[in-house]
Amino acid sequence: MEEAINKPKDEVCRHARLVHGTCTNCGQFVDDWHGVAFDYVQEGLMLTRDEIARLKDTNIKKLFDEKKLQLVIDLDQTLLHSKSVEKLNLEEKYLENIQADSGGGGLFYKLETPERMVKLRPFVRNFLKEASTMFELYIYPMGSEFYGKRMAQLLDPQGNYFDNRVISKHDLIDKGKKTLDLVLGQESGIIILDDDETVWPDHKENLITIFPYSYFSEKRKRKSYSEMKKDESESYGALAFTIKVLRGIHGMFFNRNKSILPCNRDVRILMRILQSKVLKGCVIFFSGVDDDDECKECSDFVVKAKELGAECIDTLDSSSVTHVVSWTRTKTEGESDGWAKKEKKFLVNQRWI
Cβ neighbours for 218, distance < 8 A, ≥ 6 positions apart: 224
Least separation in angstroms between residue 20's CB and Zn ion is 14
C-beta of 4 vs 260, nearer to Zn ion: 4
What would the x/- binding string for Zn ion be over residues 4 to 33, using CB under 5 A? Answer: ---------x-x-------x-xx-------
109 C-beta neighbours (distance < 10 Å), count:
19
Size of the site for Zn ion (CB under 5 A): 5
Near Zn ion in 245-284, by CB under 5 A? none
Quick one: which of 147, 187, 148 has its CA closest to 166? 148
C-beta of 29 vs 236, nearer to Zn ion: 29
Q: Is the peptide bond before 114 cis (omega within 30 degrees of 0)?
A: yes
C-beta of 15 vs 119, nearer to Zn ion: 15
C-beta of 25 vs 299, nearer to Zn ion: 25
> Within 13 Å of residue 302, how many CA atoms lie on the same side as its CB?
14
Rounded Cα distance, 132 and 116, in Å: 28
Least separation in angstroms between residue 50's CB and Zn ion is 13
C-beta of 27 vs 281, nearer to Zn ion: 27
Rounded Cα distance, 344 and 353, in Å: 20
CB 320 within 8 A of CB 349: no
What would the x/- binding string for Zn ion be over residues 109 to 138, using CB under 5 A? Answer: ------------------------------
Buried b (16+ CB within 10 A) or exposed e, 148-180: bbbbbebbbeeeebbeebbbbbebbeeeeebbb
Least separation in angstroms between residue 85's CB and Zn ion is 49
Least separation in angstroms between residue 181's CB and Zn ion is 23
Least separation in angstroms between residue 69's CB and Zn ion is 33
Least separation in angstroms between residue 35's CB and Zn ion is 12
Near Zn ion in 37-66, by CB under 5 A? none
Beta bridge partners of 69: 135
C-beta of 26 vs 98, nearer to Zn ion: 26
Which residues contact Zn ion by CB under 5 A?
13, 15, 23, 25-26
